[in-house]
Structure 1
Amino acid sequence: MKTKLFAILLLLSVFSRANAQTEKGSISGKVIDETNQPAMYATVSLHNSKDSTLVRGTISNLDGDYSLDNISAGSYFISVTMLGYDKSRSAVQQLGAGAKISVATLKLKKLSNQLKEVSITVKKPLIENQIDKTVLNVENSALATGNNVMELLQKAPGVTVDKDDKINLRGKSGVQVMIDGKPSYLSQEQLANLLRATDASNIQSIEIITNPSSKYDASGNSGIINIKMKKNQSFGTNGTLTVGGGYGKRHKADGNASLNHREKLFNVFSNYSYGNYGNFHTLAVDRLLNTSGGTTYFSSSSYDKNDSENHNYKGGIDFFLGSKNTLGFLTSGNVFRGHNHETGINKIGATIAASDSSVVADNHGRSPYDFATYNINYKSVLDSSGTELTANLDYSRSAGDQDNYYNSSYMLGNGTEKRPPLLFRNYTPNVADIYSAKVDFTHPFSKKTKLETGLKSSYVKTDNNLNYSTKQADGSYQNDAARSNQFQYTEVISAAYVSLSTEPFKDFSIQAGLRAENTHSEGNSITDGTVVARNYLNFFPTVYLKQKLSAKNTIGVSYSRRIDRPDYGSLNPFLYFIDQYLYAKGNPYLNPQYTNSFEMNYIYRDSYSTSLNYSRTTGGITQVLLTNPVNKALFQTNENLATQTSLSLNINAPVTIAKWWKTNNNVTIFHNEVESPNIGGADFSTSKTAWMLNTNHSLTVTKTTGIELNGSYNSPSVSGTFNVSSFYGVDFGINQSFADKKFNLKLGVNDFLNTRTKQSVSSNLENNTYAIHQNYESRVVRMSLTWRFGNSNVKSVDKHGGSESEQNRLKK
C-alpha cells in the first residue's frame, strides 16, 4: 500500500513540474521619448536572445505602456522602433515559467540627422494592382480637381456609367457601391444624386473588388466599388480650405473645408463642401412602330437645363478608451436642391420626312432631396495576437420631394392646334428609413491562420407617393386618382458569415467563407391593394487560393456566388408619365438575380496584372423599353431575363518611360451574351464582344509641379436589350504646390477634345425599333486652390505609429 501511495505521489510531482514548466509568463514595460513624455504607438517586439528571432510584438498605448502575454520561459530582449527615432533595445531578460517581469523604461532618442520636424511625402501610384482588388489613389491627383465622385468613377479602369446613371464594371451591371465599407442602401437615382453631390477632393481612394469575400454583403453581381473618404490622423489641430470653380457651357462653383483636432484621448473631425452647378442635357429619340394598321414614325427632341445646389457634411468624434478600445460617433449627410426647365417636341407621322401631328412640351420642376446617416461604432483589441471585436449601429433617412409641371400642346402638321393642351403635375414625395446593426469578430489562431465571423441585420422601409393632377380652367390642379398611387415597401435582411484564411504550405494561402442571408420583403400598393411578399434564404460561398511562385510572380483563383435584389424604385408599380407617348413604370414581381463568378489572376512584380473572369447570371434584372400596342406609347420598365453570361480579360501594365514620366495602362476585353424566352412577347438573344482602354500618364516636372493625362476609349457594346455606341475622351490636369506645400493650385480639363459629349443607344428587341441620342456638357475647365493649415508633419504620427508594415508583420 505504501509503495502504491509513493508511486502516485511521484507521478503527481512529475506532472506538477511538467505543468509548471509549460505555464506562460508575461513581460511589460514603458517607452518614453527624450522629453520623458510617453512614446505613443511605438512598435515593441520581443526577440529570442540566442538568435534574435522575433517571438511576438505589440504597440505601446497612449501612456507609452506595453504588455506581452502568454510567453514561454526563456531568455529574451525587447526592441522598440518609432519613425524619426533611433532603435532602443533592453538588456537580456530571463523569464521563468509563469513569471511576470517588468523591463526598465526604454528611452527613444531622435535620429542624429533628423530635423526638428520631419516631413516625408510618399506618393502612391494612381493605380495599384493587388491580387484581390484594384485601388485608384486619387487623394493627390489633379484629375480629381472640381469633379464629383460620379465623374471620377468614369475614369476608373473598367468602370462605365450608362444613360440612366447605372454603374457598370467590366461590361456588367449590378455593382454594389459602398462608402467606407458601408452599403448605401439607396436607390439608383438617390445614389447617383449623392455621388454627384460629393466633391472628389474628399476622396482618398476607390477600391474595385470583383470577387469580394464573405465578410461583405452578398449584393452586387459584378463586384463592389468601395469609396474611401479622406481621414486625418495627425495630432493637434489641422485642416484644409479649398475654393474652386469652372466653366463648360454653364457655370460651376464649389468649396470645401475640413477641420480636425486630435489628442491623446479623443479625435474630432469635420468636413463641409458646397457646390453650385449649371448643366444641360439634350435627348433625341427616333422610333418606328409597325402595326396591322401601318407604320408610324415618332421623332422627339428635348433640351433640359438644370441648376443644382449641394451641401455635403460629415462630422464625428472618436474616444480612445486606453490603447485597445475605441468608441466613435459619426454623422454625415447631403442636402440637394435642383431646378430644371425642359423644352421639346415629339413629331408623329406616317413617314420620316413629313409629320402629320406633334406634341410640344414645356416642362419645369424642382427636386429637393435630403439624406442623413448616423453611426455609433466600437472597436476592441482583445489581445496582443490581434483578436478584434467591432460593432456598428447605423440609421439613415432619405427624403425627396420632386414636383414637376408639364405643359403639352397638340398640333397638326400645318401648325394649327389639334386639341386643347394638357397641363398636369407629378408630385412625388418619398421617404426611406434604414436601420442596420453589425458585429464582426477576428481571431488569429496563429501567424498563418485567421478566423473572421460576424452577424448583420438591416431593416428598410420606404414610402413613395405619386400625386398626378391636371390643371383646371381656374388655374387649380385636380387630383387624378386613376393615375395616382402610394407604394410602401419593407425589407428585412438577416445575415451571418464565417471566413477562414490559412497558409498550409509555404507561399500558398487559402481563404474560404460562407455567408447566409435571409430576406423578407413586402411591397404594398396602397391604392389598388396589391401586395407582393417574398421570403427566401440563400447561401453564398466564397473561395480564394493564392500561390506565390517566386518573389516576382503570384497567381490566384477565386469563386463567389452573389445576389442582386431589385432596387426600391423598380418595384413601384405606378406609371410615371412624361407625356402621352412616353412613361415609366415599375414591376412589383421582379425577383432577385443570382451570379456565379470565377476569376483567375496573375501579378508580376506587384505591378503588372492579368485577370480572366467568367460569370453566369440567372434571372438577370434588365431595363427594357417596350411599346404599348394600344396607345403606341413607349414605356420603360424592368424584367427578369433568363440568363446572362460574361467573359472578360483584364490587363494592367504600369510603364515607366522616364524617371519623371510614369504611366498606367489598362485594357479590358469582354464578351456578353443575353438570352430570354419572353421579352415583349418574343424570344430574345444577343451577344457582342467589346473592349475598353484606359491610359494614365503622370509627369513630375519639378518637386512642386506635376501633370496628369488620362485617356479612355469604350468600343460599341451591348447592355441587356440595348446596343451602346462607342465613346472616348482625354482629361488633363496640372498640380502646383507652393509656400512649403501649404498651398496647392490645381487646373483640370475634363474631355479636352470634347468627344464624350454624345452617347447613343438603340434597341435589340424585335418589333421595337428605336434609337436614343444624348448630348451632355462634357468639356469643362476647372480650377481649385487648397490651403493646408495646422500640424501635418510626420512627427504627428497616425494611429499605426508610422510603421504599419512592421505591425502587419507582427500580426501575421
Structure 2
Amino acid sequence: MNYPKSKLLIIIVLGLLLGLYSVANAQNLRKGKLINKSNEVIPYVTIQLVDSAQKIIDYAISDERGEFQIQLERPNAKQLQITAVGYEKLIQEIATLESNNPLVLMLNAASQTSIQTITVTGRKPTVEAKLGKTIFNVENTPLVQTSSAIDLLGKAPGVFVDMQQESVKLQGKKVLFLVDGKRTYLEGNQVYQYLNNFQGGTIEKIELIHSPSAKYEAAAVINIITKKDKSHGWNTVLSTTAGYGQQPDVKGSGTFNYRNQKIAFSTSLGANFDKSPVQGTTEQRADNYSLFQEFHSLSKNNSSYGKFSLDYFLNKKNTLGLVYSKNTGNKLSDQLSESQRNELENGLKIFNDHNTGDVHHNRDLLSFNYTNTFSESSKLMFNSDYAWSNNLGDNRYQTSLNQQVYRDRLNNLDLDNKVLSMTLDYEDLLWKKYALEVGAKLTDIQTDNFNRFETLTDSQNQIPTLQEDRFQYSENVTAAYLDLSTAFSEKFSAQLGLRAEHTQTTGKSISTNLIHKQSYFDLLPKVNLNYALNKNHNLSLGYSRSIDRPSFRTLNPFRYYSDIYSASEGNPYLKPSYTQSIALQHFFKSKYMFTLAYMENRGDHNVYYDRDEDVIVSKYENYGLTSAWMASAYIPVAFTKWWNSTLQVQVAQLNIRKDDFQKSGPAFSFNSSSSFKLPKKYMAELSHQFSYTSTMGIYEVAPIYSFNVSFSKSFLNNQLAAKIQGVDLFSLYRWHAKTIQNGIFYENKNRGRGAMYFLSLTYKLGKTTVKGSTAKSKAIENDQDRMN
C-alpha cells in the first residue's frame, strides 16, 4: 500500500505518545476503597476531585468491590467529595491524606430524616429536539418489548423503512448506522437483518441525526442507544427467522456479552439463506428498431457474518479496544429471457438468453482504538481501521437464435479492495459552556480489479475472442474538523462546524493504458440552531454541505454485457457529488413534528443510456443539478388505550437538470403504523406504505404500495418472544420505471418475491442488563460501503 511516509511517521509518533501517556497516567493513579461502619464495601459510587472553587477536575467510580483509582496529583486539587444514597456526604481534604498508602474511606449512614425523599416517576417526551438531531424515546412506543429495532424505526419521525428492498432512509438520505456510537460493521441488507433481530426492549432511545456534526462524513446518521447498565456478568440472545412465499428465506443469529472489572467482550454470529425470484419485462425503442424482453430470474444467496470486540480497561480513565469482523457469502444466479428485436431493415428476430452466475465475496475489518477520559467533560480517542475485501465471480452468457447457439461468452472477475483509515478526536467543555470537538483523519484506499471475457461462440464474428482489463485505483484523503456548540440561554443553543478535506486520486486501466488523476480540496460547513419558544413549541434549523464519492465499481471503465444488446460500463472521470441541505423543524408538545426542507445536489452520479452500434450501454456521469423542496409531518395518535397509530406524510417537488435534459415533478409518500393490544397479552401491528415519485434521477417511476401485518407475544417472563409477520400481504409491490434519453426510450417493469410470511423466535439467557464491549471504529465510515 503506497501510503505517504510523512503521514505514516505522524501516525507512529502519535501512537507512541498515546502509549507513553497512558503508562505514565496509570502510574500516577491512587488506589482507594469505600466501606461503611460494618466494613461492607460500597459499590458504584462517584468520587469527585474538586479545586478550591468547587470545580470538578477529576472523578472515579467504585466497582463492585468498592475499589477505585484516581489521580490526586492535579494542580489546585483541594478535596475529595463522595455522595451516596443512604449515606452522609463525605468531604476529605487532600492535604490530610497519607502520601503513598491506599485510601480507605468510610461513609456514615444517613439519618432517617435526611433520607426522606419524594419519588416522582414520569415518562420522557416521545420526541425531543436537539442540535442537529431528533431524539426518539422508545419507552412511549406501544409493543416495545416485542418489537425489533426495525419495527421501532418504522415509527420514528422522518424515517422510511422499505421492507421489500430491506433499506432505511432518514429524510430521503442514505444512513450510517451506529449502536451506542459504534459502527455495526455490516453491509447492505445485513444491516437490515441485524436491526430486524435487535430487541426493542433493550433500546433506551434512538438518535435521528439528520444534520450530523463536522465529525461525520455521512449525510445522515442513526444512533441506537441501548439501556445503560454496566453490570458484571454475561448474557446471550439467540434469534431465528423462517419465511416462505414463492421461495424460502431463513435467518439465524446469536450474540454473547460478558463484562467484568477489567474486560468487556462481545461476539455475534449470523447466517442467512434465501432464494429471490424476479420476473419482469424491459422495452427499448429507437429510430430504427424496437426491443422487447421478458425475463425470469432466481438468485440463491448464502451469507454469514461474525464480529468479535474486546475492551480492556487499563484503569478508570484509559481503555483499549479491538474489533474484528468478517462477512462471507455466495450468490448463484440463473436467468432466462426472451428478446424480440424488430429492425426496419432486417425484420423480427427472437433471441433466447440463459445467463448464470456464481459470485463469492469475503470482507474483513480489523479495528484498534484507544480512549483516554481526562474528566467527565474531556476525552481523547484514537481509531485505526483496516478493511479488505475480495469478490470472485464466474458468469456465463448464452444466446440462441432459432434454437441454434448464436453467442456463448464466459466472464471471470477478481475484485480486490483495501482501505486503511485513522482518526484522532478530542472532546472538551471549555469554560463550562462551550462543547468543543476537534479531530483529524487519514485514509488510503487501493483497489485492483481484473475482468476477463472469453467468447466461445460468435456466429457473426462481431466481438473479439478474448477481452481482458485490469483497473487499479488509489485514493488518499486527509481531513480535519472542528465543531463548537453552546447554549446561550435556556431557550437558545447553537452548533457550528467545519470539515476540510484534501483528496488525491489515480485511476489506471492497464488494457487501454488510460491514467486519470484528480486532486481537489473541499470545505464542508455545518450549522445547527435550536430555539424553544415555550414548553409546547420548539424550532430547529439545520444547514449542512456533504460529499458523496463514487463507488469503486462505477469508476471502472470496463464494459459488462448482460446480453447481446445490453451492457454497462463505469467512468474513471467521475467526480464527487456535493449536497447542500437546509431544514426547519417545528416540534409541538414534544410529540408532533413538522419539517420544511430544501436539498440541492450538484454532480449526482446518475445513469444515462448511449448506443454503440446495436448495443445499448448504460454509463455513469455527473449530472448538473438535482434539487427538491420537501414538507413532512409526523403525527402519533392514541385512539384508545389499546389502539395507537403513527402517521407520516411527505410531499415534495423534484427537479433535475443537465445541459438540455430537464425533468421535474411531484413526489408523495404516506406511511402508517397501528399497534393493537389484544386479549391474553397478544399484540398486533398493521402498517401501510405508499410512495409516488414522479421523477427518480432520469426515470419516471410508478407508485409503490405495500401492506404488512404482525402478531407477537412474549413468554417465560419475557425471555422468549415470538412473532408472526406478513410482508406485502397482497403482493402489490411493483417496480415500473421509464425514461427517454439520446433518442432511446427505455422502460422496465418487474416484481419481486411477492407476499412473504415469517415466523421469528428470540430467546434471551443470562443477565440481560450486561453491556458488552463498546470497542468501535469511526475511521472507516462511508469508505467501506463504497466497496460494494
Aligned-partner residue type, residue 742 of structure 1: Q
Match of 1:271 among 268, 272, 276: 268
Contact 2:297 2:333 in 1 (8 A): yes
Query: Where does the alignment leave 5 or more consecutive residues of structure 1 unmatched?
Result: 1-25, 82-86, 112-120, 474-478, 678-682, 801-812
Deviation track 1:390-444 (CA, whole Å, cap 9, x = no partner) reads: 1111111111112111111123xxxx65xx4211111111011111111110011
Matched, 1:776 2:761: no
SS in 1 for 2:585: strand
Q: 1:54 to 1:386 in 2, by over 3 A?
A: closer
Following the alignment from structure 1 to structure 2, what is the Cα–Cα distance between the partners of residues 398 and 335?
Answer: 10
Q: Equivalences for 1:336-735 in 2 at 5 Å?
A: 336-349=329-342, 356-383=348-375, 385-411=376-402, 417=404, 420-471=405-456, 483-624=467-608, 626-628=609-611, 630-631=613-614, 633-677=615-659, 683-701=660-678, 704-735=681-712
Q: Give the C-alpha shift of residue 767 in structure 1.
A: 2.1
CA RMSD of aligned residues (A): 4.2
Q: 1:588 to 1:46 in 2, by over 3 A?
A: closer
TM-score, structure 1 normalization: 0.79
- Return the index of the structure with the highest Cα Rg: 1
TM-score, structure 2 normalization: 0.81
Q: 1:545 to 1:654 in 2, by over 3 A?
A: same
Q: 1:670 to 1:107 in 2, by over 3 A?
A: farther
In structure 2, the residue matched to 1:789 is 765
Match of 1:247 among 218, 234, 244: 244
Following the alignment from structure 2 to structure 1, what is the Cα–Cα distance between the partners of residues 185 and 766?
Answer: 36
Following the alignment from structure 2 to structure 1, what is the Cα–Cα distance between the partners of residues 185 and 771?
Answer: 35
Q: 1:43 to 1:184 in 2, by over 3 A?
A: closer
Q: 1:228 to 1:400 in 2, by over 3 A?
A: farther
Q: Give the C-alpha shift of residue 340 in structure 1.
A: 1.4
Q: 1:402 to 1:266 in 2, by over 3 A?
A: same
SS in 1 for 2:639: strand
Contact 2:677 2:683 in 1 (8 A): yes
In structure 2, the residue matched to 1:803 is none
SS in 2 for 1:304: strand
Contact 1:247 1:782 in 2 (8 A): yes
Contact 1:197 1:311 in 2 (8 A): no
Following the alignment from structure 1 to structure 2, what is the Cα–Cα distance between the partners of residues 230 and 337?
Answer: 36
Following the alignment from structure 1 to structure 2, what is the Cα–Cα distance between the partners of residues 709 and 211?
Answer: 31
In structure 1, the residue matched to 2:84 is 80
In structure 2, the residue matched to 1:476 is none
SS in 1 for 2:553: helix
Matched, 1:736 2:713: yes
Q: 1:78 to 1:409 in 2, by over 3 A?
A: same
Q: Give the C-alpha shift of residue 737 in structure 1.
A: 1.1
SS in 2 for 1:80: coil
SS in 2 for 1:719: coil
SS in 1 for 2:197: helix
Q: Give the C-alpha shift of residue 369 in structure 1.
A: 0.8
Q: 1:165 to 1:781 in 2, by over 3 A?
A: closer
Matched, 1:320 2:297: no
Q: Equivalences for 1:61-460 in 2 at 5 Å?
A: 61-62=62-63, 63-65=66-68, 78-81=82-85, 87-90=86-89, 93=91, 104-106=105-107, 132-134=132-134, 157-159=158-160, 170-171=171-172, 175=174, 177-180=176-179, 191-192=187-188, 194-195=190-191, 198=194, 200-202=196-198, 208-217=208-217, 219-220=218-219, 223-224=220-221, 233-290=230-287, 294=288, 296-349=289-342, 356-383=348-375, 385-411=376-402, 417=404, 420-460=405-445
Q: 1:799 to 1:225 in 2, by over 3 A?
A: closer
Q: 1:253 to 1:722 in 2, by over 3 A?
A: same
Contact 1:483 1:575 in 2 (8 A): no
Aligned-partner residue type, residue 580 of structure 2: N
Identity %: 24
Following the alignment from structure 1 to structure 2, what is the Cα–Cα distance between the partners of residues 170 and 651?
Answer: 11
Q: 1:698 to 1:433 in 2, by over 3 A?
A: same
SS in 1 for 2:554: helix
Following the alignment from structure 2 to structure 1, what is the Cα–Cα distance between the partners of residues 77 and 419?
Answer: 53
Aligned-partner residue type, residue 696 of structure 2: S
Query: Where does the alignment leave 5 or more consecutive residues of structure 2 unmatched?
Result: 1-28, 113-120, 775-788
Aligned-partner residue type, residue 373 of structure 1: L
Q: 1:459 to 1:46 in 2, by over 3 A?
A: closer
Aligned residues: 719
Deviation track 1:484-503 (CA, whole Å, cap 9, x = no partner) reads: 21111111111111111112
Q: 1:467 to 1:160 in 2, by over 3 A?
A: farther
Deviation track 1:153-193 (CA, whole Å, cap 9, x = no partner) reads: 89994547799999765456xx353455577999xxxx436
Q: Give the C-alpha shift of residue 783 in structure 1.
A: 0.8
In structure 1, the residue matched to 2:737 is 761
Q: Give the C-alpha shift of residue 134 in structure 1.
A: 4.9
Contact 1:332 1:374 in 2 (8 A): yes
Q: Give the C-alpha shift of residue 482 in structure 1.
A: 5.9
